[in-house]
Structure 1
């Protein structure tokens, strides 16, 4: 059993928390307003606490905060995140009035790289950011086998993340290691297709995959 802290309280957080809890892990939710957030998690088996306590108490930390503010938020937790595996599932994009992505926040770079630069003592691994949130914890829910991409500079950290992905139901042959954290640029850029897909199909789960 691994103690996993998920920073953020939105739909991604709830999806991953439910799936990881079901896989037998201890799950903490880190919230900037833990007192207010606890009611929404009552009876789930998930512990809600403030972000610093969650990050400091966990073996693995998941960044499920809004990507446009992740670097700022997590930089404040540098001490708590030191030495930790940081699984980054967010995408950094500018947002339109409808909340849809309107462009990359870090063109020619990636949020994963920015986080690794801001948190040099942490081991940042990028994954699970090329799909609509329900697919993260239910990879078999789509009609076609789905690829999950993994990027990171630390091989041991990627092995930890690969183990968690397997616990979430991802088959080993569908987990594709792209290389170092720099390789997160291409998967993150895929967020630009999201608005068009959602407008064309509605809020139907989908994912970017490699077929060959």
Structure 2
């Protein structure tokens, strides 16, 4: 998307505590985050879309604009997203609001938030809100830059989640790994091609 980097860097310099990456997500990471989604999945929320690279990946995979809601706390990014993605619902409010906005109806939540660097109570609130918003069988897609899984172990255990490690994306700065989280009870009850882990 034209102008991504200058806008991103301007906001990074202005709000360094709000933005965790050094450059926007790559198109390859966006494609990996969107890989499991498509036009038949239904409503999707994205947490922390930033400049919209992953948003574009979701739309390119066929997610219908009217089925996509973006939660972005940065007002400048929110305004940019509204201009760039007509038909997509852009909300300048916390991700935790998704629990009330979409209770039990979302097919997926896709997150670009830096979960492991977020304070523990907020980390817990975000995950709880995501799974409150997800319908049965829904999934939470998250990437991380580090060697650890992106959801804190105690939060995963409290919410009863399992993770499927996804693609490792070398074509990103820094390299990233995608994880898909589901409710353990639902994952174990249904036949799955993926192999899930309690990680």
TM-score (norm 2): 0.50
TM-score (norm 1): 0.47
